[in-house]
A and B are shown apart, each in its own frame.
Chain A
Amino acid sequence: MKKELTIFDKPKNVKILLRCFYGSLVVLLIAEFFIHPHPAFYFEQIKGFSAVYGFFSCVLLIFLAKILRLMVMKKEDYYDR
């Protein structure tokens, strides 16, 4: 039998991965200053608009999903009863 991959079982590796991830975020924010911008709308002239928008989109998504869950969640056998 093939040997199992276990790279993510080690907390050290996960930590490295997260560091790389946070590092890439910083790089993306800096990179915006070195590219030729062509903003679609006026609000896109703000540096880091996409980053903020992406972040808060996901937070809002989760927040609204949690509220939605209160309204629509039923037990798995709901339709069988």
Chain B
Amino acid sequence: MDCKTCKENLEAYLKGRLPQDLKQSITLHLKECTDCSIYYSTFLLAEKVIQKESQLEPNPFLATRVMARIEALEQVAETVEKRRLFSRIWQPVLATVSIAAAVFIGVMAGNLYQPVQLSGQIPEELVYMDDAAMESLQFLMNE
């Protein structure tokens, strides 16, 4: 048996799919040929690692965790949607109501204002404070 034939048939050899005579000649070749023996060893090792990893089971709570994550994501999405709805509808409504309330309060405050009723006469004590009467403008200009 040559190395090429041996290597080509190793997978079938490993899985027990070879006829008895071919199987025997490969077994014999593997004992005699170091290169093919190393090749077969790596082949076996890789098969074993892959077999071990592919037989592992996922976490038994995986489905529950997935559903919990989906639920949490949907809750976040709902909150975002509510906020979007608030900013799209309620925010302009609130702004309008605020402006209307401010105008209303302003008007009401304006109506409450009572103007001071001034009498035509100057109180006696202020008469002396009328500087214009004490010193006429004409007098100042001639100076």
Answer whether A and B are interacting partners: no
Chain B positions within 8 Å of A, measured between CB atoms, are none
Query: Could you tell me which A residues sit within 8 Å of B by CB distance?
Result: none
